[in-house]
Structure 1
C-alpha cells in the first residue's frame, strides 16, 4: 500500500510502550528505596533529631566517610599544625617577660621538646595516615603540650600557678576546636588535661583551697563546653557528608531515569530499534549531511509478507516474536554503525544508508531478504490455515536512492522507496524492487525543455 494511504498499526505498539513505561517507573520507585539511600536517610534522621546520638556511622558507611574526608582532613590538620607550632613558640616572649629566670626551661620545653615532636606528627599527617593514627597523634601532641605547661609553671609563685589551668584550657581549645578532633578522641584529650590540672592543683603549694577549686572547675567546665562545641562541629560535618551522598545518589537515580525515559521516547520497546519519532530526526540530520558533502543517500522500506495471516491465526504474541526476529536480522545485515534502522510502524521497517548508491542499497536489501528467508519463523502454536502460504517468514523490500540531494525534498526518497515496496508486493512478495534514481525537480524540468 502506498505511504500516503497506509495507517500505522499503533495499538500494539502503544500497549507495549505503556507496559514498558510502567516497568521503568516501577523500577525507578524500587531503586529510590535502595538500601544505601535508606541507610543515609536513617543516619540523617538520627543526627537531626536534636538529641544526643553517637556520631559514628555503621561500619561500611564509616569506612566510606573516612575514605572521602580522611585525606583532606589530614592535610588540613598538618597545615593548621604549622601555625600552631609557630604560635606556641612565640609564647617564649611572654615567658621571658613573666619569668625571665626560667627562660632556659621555656626554651627547652617549647623548642627542644614540643617542636620536634610536633614536626614528626606533621610529617605523619602529610602521609595521610589512618584515622586512629591521625587523631591519636593530635591527642599525643596535646598531652605533650599539657605536660610541658605543668612543668614550666610548677612552683614559681601564686600568680604563675594560675597560668597552668589557663594553658590547659587553651590546649583543649586548640585540639578540640581548631584541630577538630573526632569526638571520642576529644574526650580523651579533655580527660588528660583535667587529670593533669587536678594533679597540678593538688600539689601546688601557692594557691588557696578555694582558688584550687575555682581553677579546677574552670578547666573542667570549660572543657565540657569545648567538648559540646566539638560534638556540634563533627555532627554538622557528618550531616553535610550524608546530605551530599544522598544528593549524589538522587542525582544518579534521576540521570538513570532520564536515560530510561529517553530510551522510551526514541526506541521501540519491542525491537529496541529506533522508533518513528527518532527516525524523523535522524533522517533530517543525515539528509542535511548528504547535502553538505554531496554524497548519495539511500532508503530501504521493508515489510513482512502475509503478516496479517500470522496475527490472525497464531495470535499477537507469536506475531511479536516474528517482528523481534526480523528486527534482529535487519541489524545483523547492516553495513556498519553509520547505517540507521527503525521500526516504521506495525510490521514495517525502514533503513537509511548514508553514502550508499542505489546498487549498494540493493545489495543490503537483498542480504536482508535472504537472511530472513533462511532464518524462517518460530515454530507455530496453531494449525496453519493456508499451507500454500505457510508461516515461513519473508519480507518485501523497496529501495530508493538520491545521488545528489540538493534541491530534492527528502520526503520524495521515502515515497519512492514505498512505491518500490508496493511494486515488490504486487509482483508476488519476497523480492527487492528499486525506484528510479531521484533527481532534483529543476534538473527534470531542464530535461523536458
Structure 2
C-alpha cells in the first residue's frame, strides 16, 4: 500500500492531510490507536522497517533460545533429552520457518501475528519443559520465562496490545504451572510469581512508552514531510514564474540568457554549430494603436503559440526577448536548417491571418526574421552571435518586412 503523501500527485495544498496529523498529535492517543485512515497508513509505512527488525531479532532469539541447551542437562537432568528434542526438533525449526515466511513475504498482511506466534511458542516451550521436570532445579526455569517475555516486549517490540495479551497470558500459565510443582516451597512460589509479575509489568510499561514515542515521531515526521513538500513546490513555482514570460507563457529573457550561455559552452566543447533566430512583429505599434493594448496582448500570445509549434527538440528554446520581439535558440543547428525553421514560422504566422488592417505590409499580422549561426571558438563570445542575428533582423526590416534574412559576411561588412 503506497504512502498517501509520497506517492500521490503533488498538489499545492496539503492542508487537509496536515490537519489530520496535527489534530491527532494534539489530541494524543493513550490507547495507542490513530483514527482508522491514519492507523492503516502508519502500519503500512512502518511495515518494512519492522520486518527488517524482526528478522534480526528473530535470529538473535534462535541463538539465545538454543544457548540454554548447555544448561538443560544440569537444570532438568531427568528430562534433558526431551528438552533437547523440544528445542532442536520442534521449536527451532518452527522459529526458522516463521522467519523464512517473514523474509519471503509469504504472509505480509499477517506480519505482526507471525511475530506474536514466534514469541509465544518460544515462551510456551519453556513453560512445558518447566512443567515436565520433577527435578528441584527446574524451579529456576522461571528466569527463562521472564527473559522470554522481556525479549518480546523490549527487544522485538511487539505492538503494545499484542504484547499485552501474550505477556499476561504467559503470566497466567506460569501461575498455573508453578503451583503444580510439589517440591517448591510456598514462599518460593510467591516470590517467583511476584518476580515474574514485576518483570512483566516493567517490560509492558517500557513497551507502551516505546510505541507511544514511535507514534508521536511518526506524526511529526509526516507533518515535516508535508512542510518540505510544500516548500519544494513553492520553490519550483517561484523558479517557474521567474523564467516564464507572464503574458505569452513561453520562456522569458532571463531563461534565454541562461540557456544560451549553457548551449554556447556545449557547442564550444563539441565544436557544433549554434543558431539564433530573431523575430519581430511587423508594424506592431500600429496594431496596438488601431486595436488597443488588450488586443495587442492577445496577438502576442497567438504569435508565441505559433512559433513554438515549429520548435520540437528539448534543447531548443523559444523566448520573448522584449516587447514584440522573440528569439529562438537552436542548438547543434546549421544556418540552412535554421533558415528552414524560420521560414516555417513566417509561413505559419502568414497562414494564421491574424487581422491587421493598419499594417503597411499586409492585411494581417506578419513578421520579419533574422537568422545567424556560429561554431563557437575559444576567442569568441556569444554576444557576437546575438549581434549577427540582430543585424540580419535589421536587414529583414529594411527589405520590406515579412521576410527571412540570414546573416552573411556581406551584411557584416555593412
Aligning the two structures, in what range does the TM-score lie when normalised by the shorter sequence?
0.7 to 0.9
Residue matched to 1:393? 365
Distance 1:140 1:369 in 2: 77
- From 92, 95, 120, give the equivalent of 1:118: 95
Distance 1:90 1:281 in 2: 68
Residue matched to 2:18? 37
CA contact (8 A) 1:300 1:365 kept: yes
CA distances 1:19-59 after superposition (whole Å, capped 9, x unpaired): xxxxxxxxxxx835433333344444455xxxx62333344
Output aligned runs, 1:172-191, within 5 Å. Answer: 172-191=149-168
> Cα offset for 1:164?
4.8
137-146 vs 118-127, greater mean Cα deviation: 137-146
CA contact (8 A) 1:299 1:351 kept: yes
> Cα offset for 1:156?
6.2
321-330 vs 113-122, greater mean Cα deviation: 113-122
CA contact (8 A) 1:161 1:204 kept: no
Gaps of 5+ in 1: 1-29, 445-449
- Relative distance call for 1:436 and 1:405 in structure 2 (3 A) is farther
- Relative distance call for 1:295 and 1:114 in structure 2 (3 A) is closer
Secondary structure at 1:333's aligned position in 2?
coil
CA contact (8 A) 1:55 1:235 kept: yes
State yes or no: 1:437 paired with 2:414: no
- From 197, 204, 210, give the equivalent of 1:233: 210
Secondary structure at 2:12's aligned position in 1?
helix
- Relative distance call for 1:109 and 1:279 in structure 2 (3 A) is closer
Distance 2:339 2:53 in 1: 69
Residue matched to 1:421? 393
Residue matched to 2:30? 53
Secondary structure at 1:153's aligned position in 2?
helix
State yes or no: 1:372 paired with 2:346: no
Residue matched to 2:5? none
- Relative distance call for 1:66 and 1:391 in structure 2 (3 A) is farther
CA distances 1:146-184 after superposition (whole Å, capped 9, x unpaired): 443334334867964643543332221122222221111
Secondary structure at 2:194's aligned position in 1?
helix
> Cα offset for 1:275?
1.4
| Higher relative contact order structure (alpha carbons within 8 Å, sequence separation ≥ 6) | 1
Distance 1:144 1:91 in 2: 16
Count how many residue pairs are aligned between Structure 1 and Structure 2.
404
Secondary structure at 1:57's aligned position in 2?
coil
Distance 2:155 2:407 in 1: 82
- From 104, 107, 113, give the equivalent of 2:84: 107
Residue matched to 1:148? 125
CA contact (8 A) 1:71 1:128 kept: no
TM-score (norm 2): 0.81
CA contact (8 A) 1:146 1:196 kept: no
TM-score (norm 1): 0.76
Residue matched to 2:305? 328
Secondary structure at 1:271's aligned position in 2?
coil
Gaps of 5+ in 2: 1-10
- From 236, 242, 254, give the equivalent of 1:259: 236
